[in-house]
Amino acid sequence: MDEEDRVQISETLRLGLVLAIVGGYLDAYTYLCRGGVFANAETGNMVLLGINLASGEWMKALKYLLPVVAFFCGILLAERIRTCFRKKEQQGFHWRHAVLLIEIGVLALVSFMPMGGRWDMVVNWSVGFVCALQVESFRKVRGRAYATTMCTGNLRSGTELLSRYLETKEKKLLIHSLRYYAVIALFILGASVSVHISPLLGQYSPLVACGGLLVAFLMMLRTSKV
């Protein structure tokens, strides 16, 4: 039996790579088509929230607070789904299947929201919500923490493992390090794909991400090792 097949499908590298492509694609989409915003991570929004609060710009502060709230709600929903499914989980269908279906549904919905103005804010909040669901639900590759919607942590972990490998020459550390770099590379690839597709499809670009998530859903559905 292949080593990759002895872990949960949600922790396999191949699934992580598919989700990383989607994560990079969505981040580039919101930047290119929805007002120059990176919706996948909320650190920047928190910084701008603090700046505007300190400046007394309450309405501008609210603009940056709402994406953080959307991300918060995504994390909360993912955990509630996990808790509910744990009690009545059935063979062949996992709580992460439900998460992927919700992601697909939300992205399909925002694909039909016009570009510009307030709609862009709604789309960015929705993409942030989707990314929160994803980052909370798919948190490991081969037992090690990783993320598919942001890459700073992956870069830190991969480089730390590479440094340890250079010191110890332990091959397993190099393999784990390369897995992190593979996720980063596919995230960048997803962003590059979005550069070519988003200008052509415009508001309908998230439908491509729906296709990627559907692939992930089918990959999980074909195995009971969830």
From first to last of its 226 residues, the chain has per-residue pLDDT tens of 444 445 678 889 999 999 999 999 999 999 999 888 888 878 888 898 899 999 998 888 888 888 889 999 999 999 999 988 876 655 557 899 999 999 999 999 999 999 988 899 999 999 999 999 999 999 998 889 999 999 999 999 999 999 999 999 999 999 999 999 999 999 999 999 999 999 899 999 999 999 999 999 999 887 644 3
> How open is the CA angle 154-197-179, to the nearest 5 degrees?
20
The pTM for the full model equals: 0.89
Question: How many H helices and E strands in the chain?
Answer: 8, 2
Give residue 43's pLDDT.
85
**What is the predicted pLDDT for the residue at 94?**
83
CA distances from residue 174 to 89, 164, 169, 210 in whole angstroms, order as listed:
36, 8, 8, 33
